[in-house]
Amino acid sequence: MTLNDLSTKIKNISENYKEEPIAGWITGDGPIPCNILFVGEAPGKNEVEIGKPFVGLAGKTFEKYLNSIGLYRKDIRITNTCFFRPVKITIGKTNKETISNRTPKVSEINLFREVLDEEIKLVNPKLIITLGNIPLKRLTDFKSIGDCHGNIIFNNKISRYIFPMYHPSALTYNRNDNFLKMYENDWINLKNILKTHV
Ligand code: URA
């Protein structure tokens, strides 16, 4: 499969999906091949508007820490586990419609299994960094990021090293010094692992 085939596939899957509300889709971004691949959850509003992963608030946090270990967007590939934006639509008291992000369902993640597997093959990374629980569960046997973040894992099925990290938006939900220290420490661990594995 080529990059073009991948985006056609993502487009077709997204356009034919009718089970739950979704709002747009994107592809991964960054060089191919690439030694370092980050995998997030699913795009949000800013991402589908701009057409790239991690360009909203979580993306700003992500980029700040990426830069802090001497890496820049041009050095890495970044993609998602679910390539469309899963949304929920709620109708408020004044009949006003609100569209918000929701976590992708397992069935939605499964729609994109082949796409992500093929993207990993094309990118051929030496290290895959999962951001949050969704890509963690998709690419390892771990069930919770709390059990494994900041440590390197070898996935036998795809013969790749995986480094699980919290999703950058976890910083918004866990506003305390201990969490921040732990999160920053994971980036330092990543910097060290890149020296030996990439
Ligand atoms: N969060 C994600 O998991 N992916 C994106 O592309 C943007 C925000």
Mean pLDDT, the chain, rounded, equals 97
In this predicted model, what pLDDT tens digit does every residue of 123-134 receive, in sequence order?
999 999 999 999
Predicted pLDDT of residue 196: 94
| Closest atom of ligand 1 to CA, residue 134 | 3
Q: Which residues line ligand 1 (CB under 6 A)?
A: 40-44, 47, 53-54, 58-59, 80
Average pLDDT over residues 108-135: 98
Q: How many domains does the chain have?
A: 1
Q: For residue 18, what are the domain limits?
A: 3-197
Predicted pLDDT of residue 54: 98
Ligand 1 centroid to 147 CA: how many Å?
A: 22
Residue 147 maps to which CATH number? 3.40.470.10
Residue to mutate (ligand 1; options 54, 83, 136, 171; most atoms within 8 A of CB): 54
Does residue 93 surpass a pLDDT of 90? no
Ligand 1 centroid to 198 CA: how many Å?
A: 24
Give 3-state DSSP helix, strand, coil % of the chain, rounded to 5: 45, 20, 35
| Length of the chain, in residues | 198
Does residue 107 surpass a pLDDT of 90? yes
Ligand 1 centroid to 55 CA: how many Å?
A: 8
Report percent pLDDT > 70 for the chain: 100
Report percent pLDDT > 90 for the chain: 97
Sheet holding 127-131, edge to edge: 77-80, 36-40, 127-131, 160-165, 153-155
In this predicted model, what pLDDT tens digit does every residue of 10-42 receive, in sequence order?
999 999 999 999 999 999 999 999 999 999 999
Positive/negative CA dihedral, 151, 141, 84, 41: negative
